[in-house]
Structure 1
Amino acid sequence: MTATDNSTVRDADALRADMVRALHDQDAITSEPVAAAFAVVPRHRFAPEAPLDLAYDLHSTVPVKKDENGLNLSVMSAAHLQAVMLEQADIKPGMKVLEIGSGGYNAALIQELVGNDGVVTTVDIDRDVVDRARRCLDDAGYGQVKTVLADAEAGVPDDAPYDRIIVTAAAWDIPPSWIKELTGNGRLVVPLTVRGTTRSIAFDRDGEGLISRSYRLARFVPMQGEGAAKERKALLRDGVVVQTDDERVPLNTKALNQALDTPRREFWSGAAYDLPDELELYLTLHLSSAARLHASKEIVDSGFVETSALLGVPALVSEDSIAYRTRRENEDTGGFESGVVAHGPQAEALADEYLKLLRRWAENHRCRGAATIRFLPGPAPSTLPENSVLKRHGIVAVSWH
C-alpha cells in the first residue's frame, strides 16, 4: 500500500468516526447495533467518484445516475436519513431483509445488522444502478448481499417472506406485493408521498393492512416503473410552480398566475408556529383543495413569495385564488405566529379555512408524532374516511391525537 493509500484510509476512518459521533449527537443513531454498522462500513467505497468530505457529510446525497436533463435518477442517500430509517426498521440478527432501491451502502449496513445468519436482498429497476451496487458491494467485502434487477412493484418473491422491507425511493403507493411478502410480524419502512409531502413511515402489519409505528420527514428521488407517481404541475411563471397528485384540485394556470398579480393579503392566526414538519402533514391532509407551492430562491429573495415556499409549502387553491402558510415574530405566541398569505378574488375565504386549521393544530395537536397513519388495501369504500387519501391500491387514512 502506498503512502497516499495509507493517508486516504486514515482520513476516511477519521471522517467516519466523526460522522458516527455527529449522528449520535443529532439523535439519528439511537442504538448500538446501528452505530456499530455505521462505524465499520466504509461509506466512501460506495461513492468512489465523490470527495471524502462529501461522502461522509451527514446531510448530503451523492449522485449515482442522472437523466438527460441532469436530474437525479438515483443517489446514495444522506447518512442522517439512512440512520433514521434503519432505527425505524429495528433490524435484528438473522432476519431476512429486502431493500427496494439499490445503492450498495445501505445494503451493506443492513448486512452488518442481520449478521452472518441473515439474508439481505437489494433490488433496483435500473441495470446501471444494480451493476454499480454489485461492484461496490464486492469491493467493500459484502459479496453475500444479493442484488436483483426488477421492478419492485411486483415484489421480489425468491426470498420472501421478509422480516423487513426498506424502500429507499419516494413511493406514491404501497403495492399488494409489499404487504404479501412481509412476515406476519414484519415491518415496512417506506418514504410515502401523500399529496406531495413525503414521510418515512415505519408500518407494521395490522390485519390485511398496515399501521404506523413512527414517521419522520424525508426527501427521496421518486420511484420509477409501474409505481411512479403521476403528478400535475402548473408553472405559474418562471420560478413559481404549483403541483398536486389530487385530480380533484383545480390547476388553472392562467387564473392562478393572475391571482399572484393581485394585491398580497396577510391574515394572522394568533396561534403558535412550531414543529413545521408536523404542521405541514396536518395541513396537507386537512386542506379541502390541497396543493404544494414551490418558489425558487430568486423569487423568494425578491419578496414576491414567502420563504416557506423554498422547499414547498401546503397551499389551498381554487379556480382563481391561492393561499399558503407564512409566519412572523410574536413573543405572545412563544416566538413565532402562524399566518396566511392569500391572493385572488377568493383570498379571504381561502384564508379563513386555512386559519381555522392553523388554530386547531396549535390548540389540539402541537406535538411530535401525534398522527397515526394507516394503509387500508383494496377497493375504495363508497365513502372515504375523514382525512384519507385515495391511492391505486388502497387508501391512506390519518388520525391525530
Structure 2
Amino acid sequence: MTEVTADSTRADELRGRLADELVAEGLIVSKQIEAAFRTVPRHLFAPEAALEEAYAQDIVVTKRDEPGITISSVSAPQIQAMMLEQAALHPGMRCLEIGSGGYNAALMAELVGEDGEVTTVDIDLDVIDRARLCLTEAGYTRVNVVLADGEDGCAEHAPYDRLIVTAGSWDIPPAWVHQLADGGTITVPLRMRGLTRSITFVRAGDHLVSRSAKICGFVKMQGAGAHAERLLLLRGKEIGLRFDDAWPVDADLLKGALDTTRVEAWSGVTVGRMEPFDTLQLWLATALEGFCLITVDGTLDTGLVAPVNRIASPAVVDAGSFAYLALRPVDEATVEFGAHAFGPDAAALAEALAQQIRVWDHDHRGGPGPRIAAYPADTPDEQLPDGFVITKRHVRVIISWPAAGQGVPHNPTEKE
C-alpha cells in the first residue's frame, strides 16, 4: 500500500467516524446531510492540518490577522451540520453562501445536486483563491466562487432559495432580502447584544420572522457589515466589560467598583452541569437594561471575579455598579445560578439579576424560546410587535418571549 493510498483510506475512516458522531449526537438528522458529510473530503479543505485535526469536531484556522486573531477558518463540523439542518437545502435549489472556505460550499453542492447551483462569496482575495483551489481539487468546479463584500450579496447569480451566512453578522443588509426567491430563507449567525444565534428567517411581508434559532459562534463579518464591540477595561487588562450596542452613560463611575466588597445573591434555581441554558442568556439580555458581557484575561486572572465562563458571561451595569451571572456547586451533578456584584449598589443589582433568573426559570425554561423578527430600520415603533427592540443600521430586531406559563415547567426533582 502506498503512502497516498494509506492516507486516503485513513481519511475515509475518519470521515465516516465524524459522520457517525454527528448523527449520534443528533446534530445530523436528515439522510441527505449525512450522505454529504460522508462524501465531501474535509481534509482537502484543510491541507495545513493533520488528518485527525481536519476531521475533529473543531475549527481549522486558515488565516489570522496581524495581532493573531482568527479571521478565516474551516468551521467546526457540528456547527456546519446544525446550520445545514436549519436551512433545509433540497435538490435543484439555488443557494448563496456568504463567507467562504470551500468545504461548506461543497456540502451545499452535494445537497442541491447537479440541477442546483451554489455560489460562495468572500471579501478576502486570499480566502477566495484558497476556496477555489480546494473546491477544484475536490472536484466541485460547478460552485461559483466570487470575490465580493457579502454585504451586497451576489446579484449576478440571484435569486436564491437559500442564503447561508458563515460569518458572524451584526445586521441584515437589504441585499440579502432582495435577492431571495419567493419562499426563500436566510440562515445567519446574528449577533444581538453580544450573543450570537444562528437564525433561519422566512419572509413575512415587509419583514423577516425566525423559524429556528441555535446558539453558535463565528468569526466576525468584515467589510461594510463589520461592527466592533466596545470594551471597558477594569483592573488594568484583567477584566473587561463588552458592549455590543449601548455604552454606559458615565463609564468612569465604574473605575472604583472593584475596590468594594463583592456581594453575592443566589436564585435557588439549579441546573445540571451538562444542561444547556442558552435561553437564560438571551432572557437576561432582553430583561436587563445595561446588559453586557464580562470577560477575564486568563493570563491575568487573580480570582477577583468568577463568572460562569471567562470568555463571555452575561453581566449588567447600572451607574457605578455591575453584576454578572455566577454559579456555585450544589452537588457533583448540579449547580445553582446566582449573581456577584461590585459597587455602591451591588446588593440591589445582584438581587435584580437573581430575580430575572427566577423569572426565566418559572416562565421560559424548557420553553420554545423567543420569536425573533427583523423589520426595516425605518419601521416606526407603533408598527412593531411587542418585545425587546434592538435598532441596527439596516433592521430593527424584535425579540418577543411567549406569555408566562407557556414554557415547560421545570421540576427540580427530575434528573438534570
Whether the TM-score (by the shorter chain) exceeds 0.5 is yes
Q: Is the 8 A contact 1:249 1:291 kept in 2?
A: no
Structure 2 residue aligned with 1:362: 361
Structure 2 residue aligned with 1:321: 321
- Written as runs of structure 1 = structure 2, the 5 A alignment for 1:127-138 is 127-138=125-136
- Following superposition, the deviation at residue 365 of structure 1 comes to 0.3
Paired AA for residue 26 in structure 1? E
Structure 1 residue aligned with 2:37: 38
Q: Is the 8 A contact 1:29 1:35 kept in 2?
A: yes
**What SS does structure 2 have at the residue aligned with 1:308?**
coil
Matched residues in 2 for 1:157 and 1:219: separation?
27
- Following superposition, the deviation at residue 298 of structure 1 comes to 4.2
Structure 2 residue aligned with 1:113: 111
Change (3 A) 1:9 1:250: farther
Q: Is the 8 A contact 2:165 2:188 kept in 1?
A: yes
**What SS does structure 2 have at the residue aligned with 1:110?**
helix
Structure 2 residue aligned with 1:352: 351
Matched residues in 1 for 2:249 and 2:112: separation?
48
- Following superposition, the deviation at residue 149 of structure 1 comes to 0.5
Q: Deviations over 1:305-325 (max 9, x none)?
A: 214132301111123111011
Q: What RMSD, in angstroms, separates the aligned Cα atoms of the two structures?
A: 1.7
Q: Is the 8 A contact 2:264 2:347 kept in 1?
A: no
Q: Is the 8 A contact 1:215 1:369 kept in 2?
A: no
Normalised TM-score (structure 1): 0.94
Q: Percentage identity across aligned positions?
A: 45
**What SS does structure 1 have at the residue aligned with 2:368?**
coil
Paired AA for residue 390 in structure 2? V
Paired AA for residue 43 in structure 2? H
Q: Is the 8 A contact 2:387 2:401 kept in 1?
A: no
Choose the corresponding residue for 2:164, options 163, 166, 171: 166
Q: Is the 8 A contact 2:263 2:341 kept in 1?
A: yes
Choose the corresponding residue for 1:220, options 218, 221, 224: 218
- Following superposition, the deviation at residue 370 of structure 1 comes to 1.7
Matched residues in 1 for 2:72 and 2:186: separation?
21
Q: Deviations over 1:146-182 (max 9, x none)?
A: 0011112122111211000000000000001111111
- Following superposition, the deviation at residue 369 of structure 1 comes to 3.4
Paired AA for residue 394 in structure 1? V
Q: Is the 8 A contact 1:275 1:368 kept in 2?
A: no
- Written as runs of structure 1 = structure 2, the 5 A alignment for 1:258-297 is 258-273=256-271, 275-297=276-298
- Following superposition, the deviation at residue 380 of structure 1 comes to 4.5
Structure 1 window deviating more from structure 2 (103-112 vs 284-293): it is: 284-293
> Could you list the runs of 5+ residues in structure 1 that have no partner in the other structure?
none
Paired AA for residue 287 in structure 1? L
- Written as runs of structure 1 = structure 2, the 5 A alignment for 1:35-114 is 35-58=34-57, 60-114=58-112
Q: Deviations over 1:181-202 (max 9, x none)?
A: 1122111100000011101111
Matched residues in 2 for 1:357 and 1:28: separation?
31
**What SS does structure 2 have at the residue aligned with 1:198?**
strand
Matched residues in 1 for 2:177 and 2:286: separation?
24
Normalised TM-score (structure 2): 0.91
Matched residues in 2 for 1:356 and 1:379: separation?
34
Structure 2 residue aligned with 1:153: 151
Matched residues in 2 for 1:44 and 1:249: separation?
46
Q: Deviations over 1:125-157 (max 9, x none)?
A: 001100100000000000000001111212211
Structure 2 residue aligned with 1:229: 227
Q: Deviations over 1:200-243 (max 9, x none)?
A: 11111111111111111111010001100132111222231111
- Following superposition, the deviation at residue 357 of structure 1 comes to 1.0
**What SS does structure 2 have at the residue aligned with 1:226?**
helix
Structure 1 residue aligned with 2:303: 303
**What SS does structure 2 have at the residue aligned with 1:87?**
helix
- Written as runs of structure 1 = structure 2, the 5 A alignment for 1:18-37 is 18-37=17-36
Matched residues in 1 for 2:312 and 2:18: separation?
29
Structure 2 residue aligned with 1:395: 396
Paired AA for residue 200 in structure 1? S
Q: Is the 8 A contact 1:153 1:226 kept in 2?
A: yes
Q: Is the 8 A contact 1:16 1:56 kept in 2?
A: yes
Structure 1 window deviating more from structure 2 (194-203 vs 376-385): it is: 376-385
- Written as runs of structure 1 = structure 2, the 5 A alignment for 1:163-202 is 163-202=161-200
